[in-house]
Amino acid sequence: MAQTEHYILNMGPQHPSTHGVLRVKVELDGERIVHCTPVMGYLHRGIEKLMESRTYTQCVPFTDRLDYVSSMNNNWAFCGAVEKLAGIEVPERAEYIRVICAELNRIASHQVFIGSLLIDLGAATGMIYAFRDREKVLDLFNIICGARMTCHYIRIGGVIKDAQDEFLKETQKFVDYVPQMLQEYDNLFTGNEIFMERLKGTSIITKEDALRFNMSGPNIRASGHEYDIRKIDSYGVYDRFDFQVPTGTKGDNWDRYRIRFEEIRESARIIQQALDSIPAGPYMAKVPKVLKPAKGDVYHRVENTRGELGFYIVSDGTTKPYRVHIHRPSFINLQALDTMCKGLLLADAVAAYATVDPLMGEVDC
Amino acid sequence: MHNGILYLVTQDIREALLPIAGSEIIVNLTIMALGIALMFGLVTGSALIFTLLERKVCAFIQVRIGPNRVGPGGTLQSLADMLKLMSKEDIVPQGIDMWLWVLSPALIFVPSALIYAMFPFDDGVIFADVNIGLFLILAITSQSVLPFLMGGYASNSKYAMIGGMRTVAQMLAYEVPMVFALMGVVMLTGSLKMSAIVEAQTDVWFVVLQPLAFLIFMVAALVESNRPPFNIVEGESEIIAGPFTEYTGMRWALFFLAEFANLLSISIMTTTLFLGGWHGPEFLPGMVWFAIKVMIMVLVYQWIGWTFPRLRIDHMLTFGWKVLLPIALVNVLLTGIGIYVFNWL
Amino acid sequence: MWGKGLIEGMRVTWKHFWGKKETVYYPEEKLPMTERFRGGHLVLDEKKCIGCKLCAMGCPNAAIEVTVEVDENKKRHPVKYVHDLGRCLYCDLCIEACPSKCISWDKNYEAASYFKEDMKYDAVAECRGREKQ
C-alpha cells in the first residue's frame, strides 16, 4: 500500500528569500504547507542588554541597528521616550525635520519591501527599479546626516545638524518624482496579471486573527483595522498634517502590497506639507551634557514602517537606563506566519514572508 | 535545392579530399565528423555567447552596465566564468545515488545537442533531413525531463527533489499544447520534414497563418526550456536551484550550458516553424537571415524573461491544461476548416 | 483584458533597455561624498588635541583608545590614538564630544582589509605621516 507522509523542509537561515537570517521550518505535504514555524534568534545581539551599560546618548546609535532600513523612525522612538522621561521640549523646526526624515525613511523602507517582494516572486528587474529609487532617499540621508542607512540623526532633544537648503531642495525634487516613480511601478508590475494572480487571495489573515496576534502597522491595516499610531496616539507634529491611512479589506498578500504602495503616496504628501510649512529656529533643545532623567519609567511608541515600535525605559536616576525593552513590530507580525501559510503552496509562503515584511535585525533585536 | 554557401564549401572540401583519401566512404565520414564538431562548437559556443548576452540584456533592462571587466567591454566574461567553474572543487554530497547523480548532468546535454541535427540552417544545410523531423525533435526534447528528475532524485536533497517533481509536471503539461500548436503547421505543410516546412513558407510565413499557434508555441517553448517567467524548476527564491542545488563546478556548468543550448534551440525552432527559416530578401544569404531571426528571437525570449515575475506551479499547470490546450485544439480545428475552404475556393 | 499589464510591463523594460544607465564604473569613477559624510579614518590634529579623552569616553563601543602623556608644561598630548574600525559604529559621537574640534573623518569609504589587525590604526602616527609630506 502506498503511504504518504509529511516532510520537514528547513528554509533558512541560509536561503535566498528569508530576508536575512530567518529560519522557517516548513512541514510540507507535497508542495502544500501543513505548518510553518519561524525560528528566530540567528541575529540576536542583545541590544536591550547593551543599552543598560551605555548612557542615554550612547544608546541612540544602537537603535539604528534594530530595524536597519528605517533607522530614522527607530531613533525617533528612542529619543521620544527619553524626552518624555526627562521632560525635554523639542524645538518646532526639529519636529518638522523629524517628520520629513521619518517619512522619507518610510518611503525607503517600503521600497525595500516592494523590491524584496518582487525578487521573491522572481521579478529581478522590478526589484532593481525599487532599489534604484530607494537610492535617491539614501542619498538624501547622506546629505543631511552623512550616513545612508544607520543614520543616527534624530537625537535626544532634536536633530543633531540643521537641515541645509540643499537637503530641502533635493527632498522637494524627490517628492516631485514620487508620482512618476509610482506610475512606473504600476506599469511594470502592479498591473501585471501574473503578479496579481500570485498575490490576490493568498495568505489571508482576517481582522480578528490580526487583532488576536496583536499585529500592527501595514499588516493589520491590510486586514481592515485602521490602526496607525500617527493618528490614534499622535506624536511629534503629525496632528498638523493632512493624510489618510490606507486600509485594505481582505488582508491578503495583495492588500498588504497595495497598502504599502499607497503609504508611499501618503508619505510624499506629508513631506510636501512639512516642506511647505517648515519654520526657522533652533533645531536642538538645551539638553544637559550628562543626562540624568528622574526615577521612573516611560513607554513611547511610534509608527515604524513595520508597525508599532515602542520603547519601554526604566530609569533609576543615573546616566544609564536601568532597563530597556523594545516592542518590535516585526517580531510580533511574524507570529502570524503559520496562520497565513496553512494550506498554501511553497511559493506562496515565500510571498507571505515578503509581505509580512519582517526585518531580522528587529525580530532578533 | 542544393545551392547554399555551406553546401558549396562542403563540395569544395569533398573535391579536395577525394584524391587524398581515395575512397568515397572515408571522405563522407570525415565530412560527417567535421560537421559534428562544428555542431558541438556551435552549441557550446552559443551557450558561452548567450551567457554574456543574457547578462548584458538583463543589465540593460535593469539600468545597469553589466559585465565590463574581462576583455574589451566584458566580452570575455563567459570565458572567465568557464575557467572559474572548471577550477572549482567538485563537491559530492553525502548519501547520493552516485550513478544517477553523475549521469544526470552528462545526459542533460544530449537531447539539447541532439536536436540540432534536425535544424535547417540554410537551404540544404541540415544534418538529418529525415521525413519525420519535427516529430523527432519533439520526441528528443521531451527526453530532457529525465535527467532533471534523475538529478533531483539522486541529490538526496529536499529542494532538489521538489525541483525534479516540478519538472515532470511542468514538462508534461506543456508538451501537449505545444504538439497541438505545431499540428497546425504540419497540416499546412503536409509534411513533418523540417526542410519542407521551411520550403512551404516561401510566400508567406506561418506566423501570419498561425498566429495562435505561434503564441502557444512561444509560451510552451519557454516552459520547456525552463526560461523565466516559467523557471519554476529552478525557482531560486523558493527551492534554491531545484535539481541543480547540489551540483558544483563543471557538473553545474553542464546544466547551465544545456539551458542556453535550449534557449538557442527554441529560438531556432520558432524561426524555422513560424518565421520562415532562411527565407528573406535576396541581398543577404539565407544563413545570415536565419541567424538574424534567431538572434531576434533570443532577445525576445530574454526580454520576456526579465520582465515578468515567476508563475506559481498550480497557475502554470492550470494555464497549460485549461487554457493553452483548448486554444491549441481550436487552432487545429480552424486550420482544418481553413484548408478546406482554401481548397474549395 | 488579460495580458494588457504584461504588454505594459514589457514596454517599461523596453524603454529602460535603451535608456540611461544608473550605475557607474566603480573604481574608475567614484561618487562624490557629501560634506557631512561619516566614514573612513579619523583625521587627528595632534597640535589641537588636548588629550581630554572625551572622545574615547563618548564612544558607545569602545573603539577608541587614547594614551596621553603630560609634558613639562603640564600640557596633555596624545601619544597613541588607536581607532579600531572593526568596532566603530560611525556614529559621530566622538567628533561631537571633542571640545577642541581636533578630529574629523577622512571620508575614505574603502576601508575593507584582509586581516582584522589592519582594521586598527594609530591616528597620531597618521597625523605625523601627513605632516612629513
Domain boundaries, chain B: 93-344
Interface contact flag, B303 C13, Cβ < 8 Å: yes
Interface contact flag, B309 A195, Cβ < 8 Å: yes
Strand, helix or coil at A82?
helix
Interface contact flag, C92 A160, Cβ < 8 Å: yes
Give a yes or no: residue C118 inside a domain: yes
Interface contact flag, C38 A147, Cβ < 8 Å: yes
Strand, helix or coil at B57?
helix
Would the CA dihedral through B310, B314, B317, B320 be positive or negative? negative
**A59: closest chain C residue by CA:** C60
pLDDT of residue B54: 85
Contact A170, A101 (CB under 8 A): no
- For B16-50, the pLDDT digits (tens) are 777 777 777 887 788 778 878 887 887 778 878 88
Contact B297, B267 (CB under 8 A): yes
Q: Is B63 on the interface with C (CB under 8 A)?
A: yes
Parallel/antiparallel/unpaired status of strands C76-84 and C64-70: antiparallel
Containing structural domain, residue C94: 34-132
CB atoms within 10 A of CB C109: 15
Amino acid at B239: I
**C60: closest chain A residue by CA:** A58
Give a yes or no: residue C52 inside a domain: yes
pLDDT of residue A1: 60
* Domains located in chain A, CATH noted: 7-44+88-290+329-364 (1.10.645.10)
Of the candidate ranges A271-280, B97-106, B114-123, B146-155, the one whose mean pLDDT is the lowest: B114-123
Q: Is the pLDDT of residue B3 over 60?
A: no
Mean pLDDT of all residues in A199-228: 87
Query: How far is A333 from A307, CA to CA, in rounded Å?
Result: 9
| One-character DSSP codes across A282-337 | -SB----SS--PPSEEEEEEEEETTEEEEEEEEE-SSSSEEEEEEE-HHHHHHTTH
Residue of B11 and A51 predicted with greater confidence = A51
- For A297-352, the pLDDT digits (tens) are 899 888 888 888 889 999 888 888 898 898 888 888 888 888 888 888 888 888 88
User: Distance from B224 to chain A by nearest Cα, in Å?
Assistant: 18
Mean pLDDT of all residues in C56-84: 86
Interface contact flag, B57 C17, Cβ < 8 Å: yes
User: Distance from B20 to chain A by nearest Cα, in Å?
Assistant: 57
Of the candidate ranges B85-89, B123-127, B239-243, B315-319, the one whose mean pLDDT is the lowest: B123-127
- For B179-235, the pLDDT digits (tens) are 888 888 888 888 888 888 888 888 888 877 888 888 888 888 888 888 878 887 777
Q: pTM of the prediction? A: 0.87
Query: How far is C119 from C47, CA to CA, in rounded Å?
Result: 25
Q: Is the pLDDT of residue B11 over 60?
A: yes
**H-helix or E-strand spanning residue B71:** none
* B/C interface, count of CB pairs below 8 Å: 35
> To 10 degrees, the CA torsion angle through C80, C85, C86, C91?
120
- Mean of the per-residue pLDDT values for chain A? 87
Q: Which residues of A100-117 are buried (b: 16+ CB within 10 A; e: fewer)?
A: bbbbbbbbbbbbbbbbbb
Give a yes or no: residue C96 inside a domain: yes
Query: How far is B239 from B312, CA to CA, in rounded Å?
Result: 12
Q: Is B303 on the interface with C (CB under 8 A)?
A: yes
Environment class of residue B208 by beta-carbon count within 10 Å: exposed (0-12), middle (13-18) or buried (19+)? exposed
- For B134-148, the pLDDT digits (tens) are 888 888 888 888 888
Query: How far is A192 from A185, CA to CA, in rounded Å?
Result: 10
What's the CATH number where C85 sits?
3.30.70.3270
Environment class of residue B282 by beta-carbon count within 10 Å: exposed (0-12), middle (13-18) or buried (19+)? exposed
Neighbours of chain B (3+ CB pairs under 8 A): A, C
C-alpha closest to that of A350 among A360, A361, A337, A362: A337
Q: Is the pLDDT of residue B4 over 80?
A: no
Query: How far is C64 from A179, CA to CA, in rounded Å?
Result: 46
Mean pLDDT of all residues in A137-156: 87
Q: Is the pLDDT of residue A119 over 60?
A: yes
User: Distance from C58 to chain A by nearest Cα, in Å?
Assistant: 7
Strand, helix or coil at B142?
helix
Rg (chain A; Cα; Å): 21
Interhelix angle A165-185/A124-145, nearest 10 degrees? 170
Give a yes or no: residue C22 inside a domain: no
CA atoms in the 13 A half-sphere facing the CB of C67: 7
- Number of folded domains that form chain C: 1
Give a yes or no: residue C7 inside a domain: no
- Model confidence at B1, pLDDT cuts 50, 70, 90, reads very low
Would the CA dihedral through A96, A100, A101, A102 be positive or negative? positive
Q: Is C25 on the interface with B (CB under 8 A)?
A: yes
- For B45-83, the pLDDT digits (tens) are 887 888 888 888 888 888 888 888 887 878 888 888 888
Residue of A74 and C19 predicted with greater confidence = A74
- Owner of C-alpha cell 584524391: B19
Mean pLDDT of all residues in A20-41: 85
Cell readout for A74 is: 527607530
- Model confidence at B6, pLDDT cuts 50, 70, 90, reads low
- Model confidence at B241, pLDDT cuts 50, 70, 90, reads confident
- For A245-264, the pLDDT digits (tens) are 888 888 888 888 888 888 89
Beta pairing partners, A165: none
User: Distance from A86 to chain C by nearest Cα, in Å?
Assistant: 20
ipTM confidence score: 0.86
